[in-house]
Every structure is written in C-alpha cells, then in structure tokens.
Amino acid sequence: MLQQEIDQPIIGAWGPAESRSSSPGAEPAVKQIARFVSRADFGSIGGDTKLALKRTVLDTIACAVAALGGEPAKMLREQFKEYGGNALCTLIGGGRTSPDQAALLNSVLVRYVDILDTYMSPGGLCHPSDNFGAVLAAAEMSNRSGRDFLLALAIAYEVQCRFTEVVPVMFRGLNHALQLSMSVAAAASRLLDLTPDQTANAIAIAAADNVSLAVVHVEPVSHWKGISPGWTGMRALYGTSMAKKGFTGPLGLFEGPNGLNRLFDQTISIDWTNPGLGASRKTVFKKYSALVHGQPVIETVLALRSQHRFNPEDVAEVVAEVFQFAYEIAGGGHFGSKDRPQTKEQADYNLKYLISAALLDGEVGPAQLEADRILRTDAQQLLQRVTVKPCDEFTRRYPQQLGCRITIKLRDGGTFTREQTDFEGSATQPLSWERVVEKFHWLCEPFAGDLLRDQIVSAIAHLDEIQTTELTALLGRVRPEAFQPRTRKSL
C-alpha cells in the first residue's frame, strides 16, 4: 500500500529514471558539492536568513536541554566514562569529551523529545537541526567564531535540504540520516579547513557507510530512531577528520556503477552552482513533542477541547482523518499497530496516544512522553477509542498542506468536528523569534535558572559577534538533571 499510494505518484512527478549515470566526463557530484562548500560566503547571507539561523540555533538548543533528564543522555554519559576521549568539546549539560562523542550526545539530545525543526518537500522530509551537534563540535574543536559556525550550519542545511528535495529517501525504505552524513561532512570540512579535494573525499567517506534503514521508524520503535542521526553525525565528523589527514573515499558516490543514482534508480541532479544559503528560512518548527505529521492533529484536538470544554471521560470516540503518510507512519498503517504504546519512542510516533494525551492533559510536551504518563490507565483506555484513517483529499494536498479532520463524539450524542490544513510553526505561520524565545524558556526552565537562560538567548542573538566557545561555555553550565519544576506553560 505504501509503495502504491505514496511512492509512485511522487516518483512520477520527476519522470522515469532513464539514466542512472551522469554524462561521460562530467565532474563527480561530490566535487560539485565541495566547490559549493568552498565558495560559501557569510557576507552573502541576508538579514532574514541570519535571523532564521539564529532562531534555529535557539530552537535547537531548547530541544536539547529539554532532553537532559532522558534515559539516552544518562546511558551515553556512562558510555563515555568507560571509553574516555580527548576532552576537546563541551557536552550540553556539563562535561567535556572527544569531538565525535560530543557530536553524538548533543545530537541525541536535540532529537530526543521530538520537538525539533523539519524540512518538508515532495521528495520527503528531514530534520536539519540533526546537523547541530556535529557542526557545533567541529566549530569548538577548531576554535572558530560564531560567524563561522553559522555559515557552516547554513551550508549543512543547504546540502541536506537540497538532497531531500529531489530524492525520495524514506519512500525507498531508507532513513533520512543518509543525506545528513553528507551535510555534516560538508559543514565540518569548511570548519576544519579542508581543501575542495579533501572535502569531496570527506563527503564520499561519510555517505558510503551511512545508508541508514527506515526500519528504525517501525514498531516496536526503539531507542535507535532518535540515536541514528547522532550516530551518523559522529561518524561523518570523524570521517571528515580522516579526509583531512589524506584518506580518500569513493568519488563516484553518486554516478559510480553502484552509487546513489543506482540505489535510487534515478539521476540525482542538483544545481550546486547556485550559491544560495536560505534553507533555514524554509523549515517548520514544532510546538508539541510529536512527529511533524502530528502537529496539526494535536493543535486541532486542543482547539476542540478549549472551545467545547467537555470531560475526556465522556468521549465515546475520536476519528482522526489524515493524509496517507501520516496514517502509515503514525496511525497504525504500514509502520505497525499503535494500540499499545509502552515507551517514549513509541508514544511520540503514535497519533492515537498523542490525541489522548492532548485531550487528557491539555498539552503535549516532554511530560507527556514520560513512561509513567504513557502507561497510565486513562491514556491507555482512551487511545482505544481513537480511530485514525487516511483521507484522499488530504493526501493529494500533502506536503504543501498537512491537513486533518478531527471528529469527537461524546457518550451523550454530542459531536464536534474541526478541520485544519496548517499549524502554528508551519511555513505559512512561522514561529517568530519572540515565540521561539518563549519555547526556549518553557523547555529549559527545569535545567537552567533565569539568568543563565537569558545569557544563552543573548549569546545566540549576537552569535555572529562572539566566539563559538562563548556559547558552549554557557551550555556547559546547564544542569544535567532537572533541579526546579517547570512552571511555564507550553506554547
């Protein structure tokens, strides 16, 4: 069903893959990307893009800090104690370790509470802030300025999003960590001063062994869904350092007889002569701890709850109509049943649970992903009365719109319905800098006092005027465990 109803219409929009190789004598794609990286210029970044990059950094750090009390963060810190490492880079939440391990932990933190940014395109989606942990480590280890860090992040966003735009990664059964490997290598190459030839090799090295499988999203969803991007970033950063030493990679990564063109059965054509660095302006932000497909669903449910003020115990049935891919990945379709979520990893990819949590608690944030909340009887019983089904109308509009229709039926016969095609944080309703500041304070309050939070916000607002180490020093002062309650309300 997934292949027939989703994959083929999107592939058809590009036409048949008549050739899997570039024209004879054409320059390898990795060298084209390397030239793009070497020519990137911070001076060409306009004010809107600069603000978007800073807003992205603030949002990403908020996501990371909110995850500090989670199980993966604790387990990774124990892992680092066992393996050690040259303490060149700062861990968010305190401590220092080797650049690759810092890239891993800080990336895992960004992803864990699933409230990070997303790039949507006809080719699929990706989470560009997955680049943050590795790019930050590369900037800190090489003692680069905040301006250099922002430029490298812009490069990473551009490489990852351009690839996502034209290649249906997840629809081919692969995870979008694939393009992340190339974007991290591209950004790290710029920060570590690699030559264009070394950069081409770094990209080839990073991607050749990072063909990640989309099975990480399938039930029962495991820790690895959230760790996979960090693992990719860690390896890509390490591989970039190897390329700087002179190691070479397969330059036919795209065009070679067994390269990416063959893997995707299409000639991957991207214009790397375009110097634009505006991808950060095209990402969507989340207000709720859930996959992006759930953002309009949760917002719609909360609107109905606020408007009609019914008791969740009186709900007889909830019917959620969504676009096909939302149903397949989070509604009980191709990726597995959503009837018995047990863990955080299962809950944030489960529309049935997310709807139930929104009805019961009036919000969906980190607290709704705690194991004791997920397993509580009220949520487990209510989600059994939630039905998710695909809607052809919404499927036709995806990804330009993320449509949904929610119908709530009460035991006394009352029925409430609401339809949305958008949500706050999307491309048409972007979160302003001020709203992201609100999100930052909401998510970070348990781990950082008022003064430290204000200092981090100020440092990011002036990131192009300071050294990267000034920001990482502040991030190292954040507590690794919550020391005060969250008093602020969610957005």
What is the distance in angstroms between the CA of the first residue and the CA of the last residue of the chain? 36
Closest CA to 106 of 122, 92, 123, 120: 92
The pLDDT of residue 63 is 98
d(CA 312, CA 461): 42
Task: For residue 25, give the DSSP letter.
Answer: T
State pTM to two decimals.
Answer: 0.94
Given a cut of 50, the residues of the chain with pLDDT beneath it are 1-20
d(CA 203, CA 213): 19
The pLDDT of residue 151 is 98
The pLDDT of residue 25 is 65
Q: Which two tokens stand for residue 87?
A: 């303490």
Task: For residue 407, give the DSSP letter.
Answer: E
Q: CB within 8 A of 66, min separation 6: which ones?
A: 112, 113, 115, 366, 443, 444, 447
**CATH code at 292-420:** 3.30.1330.120
Closest CA to 236 of 104, 87, 147, 98: 104
Q: In Å, how far from its chain's centre is CA 128?
A: 6
The pLDDT of residue 122 is 82
The pLDDT of residue 123 is 77
Superfamily of domain 2-282: 2-methylcitrate dehydratase PrpD (1.10.4100.10)
Other beta carbons within 10 Å of 211: 14
The pLDDT of residue 252 is 98
d(CA 72, CA 174): 23
The pLDDT of residue 26 is 86
| Bridge partners (DSSP) listed for residue 119 | 126
The pLDDT of residue 24 is 55
The string of pLDDT tens digits covering residues 25-43 is: 689 999 999 999 999 999 9
Return the domain boundaries, the chain.
2-282, 292-420
